Structure 1
Amino acid sequence: MNLERTNTKVTSIVLVDDHILFRKGLIELINDFPDYRVIWEADNGQDFIRQFSMNEIPEIILLDINMPIMDGYETANWIHKNQPNIKILTLSMHNDEETVLKMLKSGIDGYILKNSDPDELRRALETINQGGTFYTNCVTEALLKSLYKNKKVDVALTSREVEFLKLACTELPYKSFSPLLNIHPRMVEATREILFRKLEVTTRVGLVIYAIKHGLFKLN
């Protein structure tokens, strides 16, 4: 038993991937992190939903995209609708624009490639576990391509909403916005929902795309 775990809050993880050998190797890797533990695993989305009611609810789900019976898109949408507090980190071999954007629209919190090194996986877990988002470079490239394809839509925004959008482009969790905007935490949630309606988006990624497209935030 890893002694470090006795003094550290352990974050629970579930793996959803149809490749058994990859899954077993990933379990060993994650369980070697002192503050993360895989509590169960599933072969696909349908298997995940079947097991969900019988097992401990995880804090983070590591989700593959291409799976039989029920793929990553459908699974992410189900989680986002039924268990919105669970964080989703996508692990995939695909970095094409269509796949990345479709997955982002499903409400995931992070996206890395399966050939990423263990340090990147650890950074991704730590970031989303703290309420932030983590996307590998291929995701940033896909977002940039999307920016130049879509037509700009002008929407009247208040100064607070503009500042909110700028903060949304950082890795800061929503809960950190309150002191920076000098507003009550409930107003952070209210502002987010107003922007979702105004900009016709449903995820933080949609807010980021709008902010970059309209020059409210510039990538380095």
Structure 2
Amino acid sequence: MEPIEIILADDHEIFRKGLEVTISRIPYIKSVIHAASGKEAVEKLEANPQVKIIVMDIRMPEMDGIEATTHIRKTNQEVKILGLSMMDDRANIVNMFKAGANGYLLKNTNKLELLEAFQNMLAGKNYYAKDVAEVFLLKEFSNSTTLKKKHITNDITTREEDILRLICQQYSTREISEILCLSEKTIEGHRKKLLDKTHSRNIAGLVWYALENGIIKEAKG
């Protein structure tokens, strides 16, 4: 992999320096550019368009990570944005993804998880913190209902869409097979195809894809 540059945006200098030490141990990281606010992250990206990844804290002064991500996505769809948050920032994490983030990690992340996140995002996949992704997303969207389709890939069949909707409602493979009168092996096959077609790593990725494409909507209350 060719060396890349990243922007590290967080309003706490001590945290930035500590995370830089971890990030700098990743072989292909050429340099780390610091930003103390969302506004500064936007400015640093404009001055350094070669940057491939922005590690973006959600809560920052002047312009928070959500606002900064929204601003960046108006003109730049290429740079990968990795949100950072504490475990209880559920609403902010949802809004971060809606703004255009490619993934999120908790602030207690380690080198291996950062490496995995970077590699997945650079490969065009979304990344979610392992410890809380599935629980978080499924809790937020488990009561979802159907919406009008927006931009679902034509590769997803009607049957796969039905299965995806049931997965998002936390039905097990066995339960889905009973509902649709299909074998568990067939359901597992569709599940694997869905992961591949949506470029998802796990169930959390499927849930987010379904939300983003209007197959389900965010539960209220």
- What is the TM-score with the length of structure 1 in the denominator? 0.68
Q: Show structure 1 runs of 5+ residues with no match.
A: 1-7, 173-203, 215-220
Structure 2 Cα separation of the partners of residues 145 and 212 of structure 1: 18
Which residue of structure 1 aligns with residue 54 of structure 2?
A: 61
Which residue of structure 2 aligns with residue 138 of structure 1?
A: 132
| Root mean square deviation of aligned Cα | 3.1
Amino acid at match of 1:104: F
Three-state SS of the structure 2 residue aligned to 1:125 is helix
Structure 1 Cα separation of the partners of residues 95 and 213 of structure 2: 19
CA deviation string 1:169-215 (max 9, x = no partner): 5249xxxxxxxxxxxxxxxxxxxxxxxxxxxxxxx97533378967x
Structure 1 Cα separation of the partners of residues 26 and 210 of structure 2: 31
| CA shift in 2, pair 1:145/1:50, >3 Å | same
Instruction: Establish whether residue 149 from structure 1 lines up as the match of residue 140 from structure 2.
Output: no
108, 114, 123: which one aligns with 1:121? 114
Task: Determine if contact 1:127/1:133 at 8 Å carries over to the other structure.
Answer: yes
* Residue range with higher mean Cα deviation, 101-110 or 205-214: 205-214
Three-state SS of the structure 1 residue aligned to 2:155 is helix
Task: Determine if contact 1:18/1:42 at 8 Å carries over to the other structure.
Answer: yes
Instruction: Establish whether residue 12 from structure 1 lines up as the match of residue 5 from structure 2.
Output: yes
Which residue of structure 2 aligns with residue 4 of structure 1?
A: none
TM-superposed deviation, 1:83: 1.1
What is the number of residues matched between the two proteins? 176
78, 86, 91: which one aligns with 2:84? 91
Structure 1 Cα separation of the partners of residues 212 and 120 of structure 2: 22
| CA shift in 2, pair 1:71/1:160, >3 Å | same
Which residue of structure 1 aligns with residue 211 of structure 2?
A: 209
Amino acid at match of 2:133: V
Amino acid at match of 1:33: I
**Greater RCO, CA 8 A, separation 6+:** 2
Amino acid at match of 1:160: D
Instruction: Establish whether residue 26 from structure 1 lines up as the match of residue 33 from structure 2.
Output: no
Which residue of structure 2 aligns with residue 181 of structure 1?
A: none
| CA shift in 2, pair 1:20/1:159, >3 Å | closer
| CA shift in 2, pair 1:208/1:22, >3 Å | same
